[in-house]
Homo-oligomer: A and B are copies of this chain.
Amino acid sequence: MQICLGFKFAGIHCGLKKAEDALDLALILSQTPATAAATFTTNRFPAAPVIYGRRQLAAGESLRAVLINSGNANACTGSQGEIDVLSVAEFLGAALNIKAAEVFISSTGVIGEPLPVTKILKGIEKLVDGVKIPGDPVITFERAVRAIMTTDRFPKMVACQLETSQGRVTINGFAKGAGMIHPNMATMLAYLLTDAKIEKNTWQALLSRVVEHSFNRISVDGDMSTNDTVLALANGASGSFLTTAADLELLENALLQMTQELAYMMVKDGEGATKVVKVMVTGAPSPTAAEKICRAVANSSLVKTAFFGQDANWGRIIAAVGYAGVDLRPELVNIDFDQVRVVSGGVRDRDYREEMGAAVLRLPEFSVKIDLQSGEDEFLLLTSDLTHDYISINADYRS
């Protein structure tokens, strides 16, 4: 794996997670101020680091460092939570000899518990010592990736190199998120890094577009967290300043693929998930209609449990389409499982046999396509099945 120029990484255990060797504090350090873009949760209870980060981005700050802790979300912690974010940022800034305003903070974990600031400050000392020692960037990168995991079963990272008209640039991405993942980004943290140089507004616009078609198109359990953040940093260390339409398109396509890959990994790692299902709505009379129906199906507990049971129970899909709150003509609706036509004109297709649908549902990945035949609009979501392990993981999360 290639790692961007001009970034350093570290991941350590500072005591937020109970297990003794569990990494729980990550640092990303850019040797030069990096142009920053970000998208945040729309939850009305944004966590303290989200409130802080939004202000930073709105003020147009370039960033030098990102500190991410797992094990505690610093959410619903009121003004004390905001004070804690500031303390941590100031401490890290002083330790690195940069401005506190150049330090971005993310947190993920249990909601409503005060942030264990002392543990984090001690951890920062270790982190800062760590990045001073020369090390294999791939190894330190992976330690940072592991330090942000909560219920994730595997680390999620991607890398890509592009040959632009201004020379070679590298992009790295990593993310965490398994349960509580919802279209509008939920307990999902993702970081995109590049050594290209990009103009700030261009960078933000590009990020917003790719997030809309990647992280905002997945759903594990319909819940949306207080902490979701996607942060993108471009530090220009490669010396390549991307300004032409061709270079920017190359970059956007690469980022779209990378974010879609990370999003796919999150669904695959959805808490307890055994299936990745692509739910597509086509032929809708409006984009809103397509989205409403797609979300109703992809979030239905009954549909997701049927996926787990490998039961081609298309009636539950029809029921979810029907309660999405969209006016439609049942007699026009077709449903396919992969290439198998299941429903034609609102009723079971005359050639459909139960075994045909069951064969598709036994696959680890398949698609469900719902064609309303009432327009041109479409929507797509990746979702997972609802399983015993989801219940086990979430019934006992804090114990």
Contact = CB atoms under 8 A, between A and B. Distances in A.
A61 interface: no
A193 B73 CA distance: 53
A268 interface: no
A367 interface: no
A311 B45 contact: no
Given A300-B223, A395-B306, A396-B311, A319 B388 contact: no
Interface residues of A, number: 69
A375 interface: no
B347 A112 contact: yes
B323 A398 contact: no
A182 interface: yes
B76 A395 contact: no
A309 B397 contact: yes
Interface string A388-399: 101110111111
B300 A330 contact: no
B394 A391 contact: no
B313 A398 contact: yes
A40 B338 CA distance: 34
Interface in A354-399: 386-388, 390-392, 394-399
28 contacts: A43-B322, A44-B321, A45-B346, A73-B315, A75-B315, A75-B318, A76-B318, A78-B345, A78-B346, A111-B316, A112-B347, A223-B300, A223-B302, A223-B320, A225-B319, A226-B315, A301-B390, A302-B394, A305-B391, A306-B394, A309-B394, A309-B397, A309-B399, A313-B397, A313-B398, A386-B391, A390-B391, A391-B391
